[in-house]
Amino acid sequence: MTTTTQPAIRSRARGFAAMDQGKQREIARRGGRAAHAQGTAHKFSSEEARRAGRKGGEAVSGNREYMARIGRRGGEARHALRKAQNAAAAVTNDGSQMATPESQLNNTPAANDSGDGAAAATQGNETGQH
């Protein structure tokens, strides 16, 4: 019979993590200034940052199960938000229908007009006119 021992879990922060946020920022600021003064500081160029972001995105998106899980969570969150918006917009005290800001934006002529006259043609078809 073998027994495994669990490592002791520390509940209190130590060192840098135990400092208040203001002191952490002050130390980090001093370190940044010192690095720039010595010439050892590094600033990402836009191309370098682009490559780093692409590399991180490829690493994350390579895990299809994880991507499916976070996509599902996003869809569920969006559904819950819309459901709450619809419930809030249901009926006011006097019985009139209240519009949500999203529906107000989508029903404006500017939102329906792409600038090529397609909105006018679509609106005519919706009313039964051809």
Whole-model pTM: value is 0.31
Angstrom distance (rounded) from CA 11 to CA 129: 71
Q: What is the pLDDT of residues 57-73, one digit of tens each?
A: 888 888 889 899 999 99
* Sign of the torsion angle spanned by Cα atoms 31, 36, 40, 42: positive
* Domains of the chain by residue range: 45-100
Strand intervals (E) in the chain: none
Residues of the chain with pLDDT under 70: 1-10, 91-130
Catalogue the E-assigned strands of 8-80: none
pLDDT at 39: 87
